[in-house]
Chain A
Amino acid sequence: MKAVGARVPRYDGVAHVTGHTQFVDDLRIPGALTVKAYRSPVHNARLTNLDTSRAEAMKGVHVITWKDVPLLEYGHLSALGIPADEPLLAKDEVRYLGQPIAIVAAPTEEAAMAAVDVITADFEELPALFDVRKAFDAGAPQIHVEGNWYRHFENEMDRRQIRKGNVEEAFDQADLIVQGVYRPAAIEHAPIETQVCQVVPEANGRLTIYSCTQALYFSMGVVAAHLQLPLNKLKVVGGTVGGGFGGKVDTATETMCALLAQKSGKPVRWRWTREEEFLCSSTRAPWHMEIADAVTKDGWILGRKMLTLHDSGAYSRFSPYGLTKHSFHHTGAYSIPNLEFDGYVVYTNRTPTTAMRGFGVTSVSFATETHMSRIALELGIDPYELRLKNANRIGDTSPNQIVYTDPSTVPTILAIADAVGHELTPEYRAMTPGQRTGDLLPEHLVGQLADPEAH
């Protein structure tokens, strides 16, 4: 902890203030072609009659479509055995506005834009789905052949499910059921540096990929898989990111640039416009969360039922991982012994969603903390004391049976109370994260205890 509170040198501090930091777009690669995308103008459609011939006939212009991709479908979580559901370039259908269909490289930006302008396709538009709550309705627009939600959690379950204790008994014993619905919106990461990539085909047959990725090794694997190349044919250079916030975890540009560098035999450079960044890059997911808690008059939370619909957008990408983190945190910083959680990764015709600052967890933290305050309000109990009473303590177990050995809820709530000058009764003021005893170990919490020494 030597660095906390201390003044430390920044690795890249001086370079940043003297203009010496080289971001990906700052590389001057002679002869690099400029890349531009032909994207879906509609949210959901069957795609036919894609015609790139006029663009290909233009001098110095190179075009790639789905036909040029050795392995068209490869998912961001394919390395973990999760089936791919997203083509690198659209083939027979488009599922979101801005989905890439054909990518061009040309000697100048103007030529690249002119080439995109002469690409044509027919779009047989289909009704689009934007509301996760309607995804389960009979007659809802069908986004994927397998349906409107992801079905590949362990043992091919179609949801992330958590069961702990006996939730029905908890609800029978409750004095009050407190319900709430929480719906945080999508957020665009909006880094000041848009997505950018440059790829150089080297004389030795390798491709050097300069990328603003936040996830270099992920991107390397994704590019290698789509191109069906061994990893030693790729040299990926990263590490300088002009803001990412999770939005540069997806492999947005590298694979298509690599294909164009291969096809043209020339270096290529793709810098997304601000408009593309807002319209086509992934966002934080919108979430729909419903919570019902079984509570007692004196402020114990006996049980929780929760339903989460994680809006994945048109493809799953990293969303199953985000929902898993979400589910593990669905009781927040509090011990609730009886749980029934069901979470679905739901497809819509939105831009695919991805990681952003606390992937999957910020949404559930917002919901649980708001819900704690709602319970306190309904019971007429001090919201700090309600939180301290139900706080995770040493020996408590999480929804997925992790034993807490050093939970920080109690000191954090006390510090917040101090910071805002909130008065607590001496009993709460003296609280520690220590193991439950006496009044803090009511019967309903006995069963979930574990021995912290054993872990």
Chain B
Amino acid sequence: MNLTVNGVESTIESGPLTSLLDVLRDELGVTSPKAGCEQGGCGACTVIVDGEPRRSCLTPVASVDGASVTTVEGLGSPEDMAPIQQAFTHHYAAQCGFCTSGMMMAAQAYIDRGGSDDPEAIQEALGGHVCRCTGYVKIIDAVGAAARGDSFDMTVTAAGTAMTNLGGVV
């Protein structure tokens, strides 16, 4: 099996029924998709597969053999953030950060298919995503801003940030 993840093609060694989430995290070391519930209920594992948002925890890797997969790491880097990443930063849409990756991939897919800044439409698009911290208002504001094509001044909100690293074996 093969997967192209964030533009990099890899041969997959895991068994065919291994979840795409486990393949990304354990075999490929792409850790932004999170194991929040592993039952398709929380949305933290969402990635974009051939343009569509998908629950990677419920996706056997064999069912997406040959697909192109995008995760948050593939959207943009800290030095060159994608609009949705800038919007989440500017609007303080991430709190603990654990649901953020899945939330952003669903938001990116929504914007890619021409979604507007209508809050109800955004709520519908993010309906399967649970955030325990923020109360959703800032997330919906951020997605709306990115959908409108707002430009963001990163000089304040992105200044002085650190790359949180536990210092373990990576």
Contacts and interface: CB of A to CB of B under 8 A. Distances in A.
Interface stretch (A25-33, A47-55, A151-159, A409-417): A25-33
A28 B170 contact: yes
A21 B85 contact: no
Given A241-B96, A274-B38, A18 B81 contact: yes
A13 B158 contact: yes
B169 to A, nearest CB: 5
A8 B90 CA distance: 10
Given A13-B92, A25-B35, A192-B99, A20 B164 contact: yes
B106 interface: no
Contacts of B88: 16-17
B160 interface: yes
A382 B76 CA distance: 56
Nearest to A238: B166
A230 interface: no
Nearest to B162: A11
B101 to A, nearest CB: 6
Interface in A24-45: 24-30
Nearest to A26: B31
Contacts, number: 153
B161 to A, nearest CB: 4
A321 interface: no
Contacts of A10: 89, 92, 94, 157, 161
B78 A20 contact: yes
B89 A17 contact: yes
A14 interface: yes
A293 to B, nearest CB: 34
Contacts of A273: 38
A80 to B, nearest CB: 29
Nearest to B72: A19
Interface centre among A17, A193, A244 (most CB of B within 10 A): A17
A15 B34 contact: no
Interface in B115-161: 130-133, 156-161
Contacts of B31: 19, 22-23, 25-26, 28
Contacts of B164: 12, 15, 20-22, 239-240
A191 B72 contact: no
A84 interface: no
A350 B57 CA distance: 31
Nearest to B96: A243
A9 interface: yes
Nearest to A211: B166
B46 interface: no
Contact of B162 (A12, A190, A200): A12
A19 B167 contact: no
B71 A16 contact: no
A27 B29 CA distance: 9
B150 to A, nearest CB: 15
A242 B157 contact: no
B97 interface: yes
A237 B157 CA distance: 27
B96 A13 contact: no
B73 A242 contact: no
A192 B85 contact: no
B3 interface: no
A13 B161 contact: yes
Given A9-B159, A10-B161, A12-B162, A191 B168 contact: no
Contacts of A240: 164, 166
Interface string A243-271: 11100000000000000000000000001
Contact of A30 (B73, B132, B161, B169): B169
A19 B101 contact: yes
A210 interface: yes
B163 A192 contact: no
Contacts of A25: 31, 34-35
B157 A274 contact: no
Contacts of B160: 9, 11
A7 interface: yes
B5 interface: no
Contact of A17 (B81, B156, B159, B167): B81
A208 B169 CA distance: 12
Interface centre among B71, B77, B97 (most CB of A within 10 A): B97
15 contacts: A9-B156, A10-B157, A17-B85, A18-B72, A19-B30, A19-B32, A21-B163, A22-B168, A26-B31, A191-B98, A192-B98, A208-B168, A237-B168, A240-B164, A274-B37
List the 10 closest pairs (A to B, CB-CB), nearest first. A19-B32, A242-B98, A16-B97, A26-B31, A274-B37, A16-B94, A19-B72, A27-B168, A17-B85, A19-B73
Interface of B: 25-26, 29-32, 34-39, 41-42, 44, 71-73, 75-78, 81, 85, 88-89, 92, 94, 96-101, 104, 130-133, 156-170
Given A10-B89, A10-B161, A20-B164, 11 more contacts: A9-B157, A9-B159, A13-B161, A15-B97, A15-B162, A19-B30, A25-B35, A26-B25, A28-B26, A189-B132, A242-B98
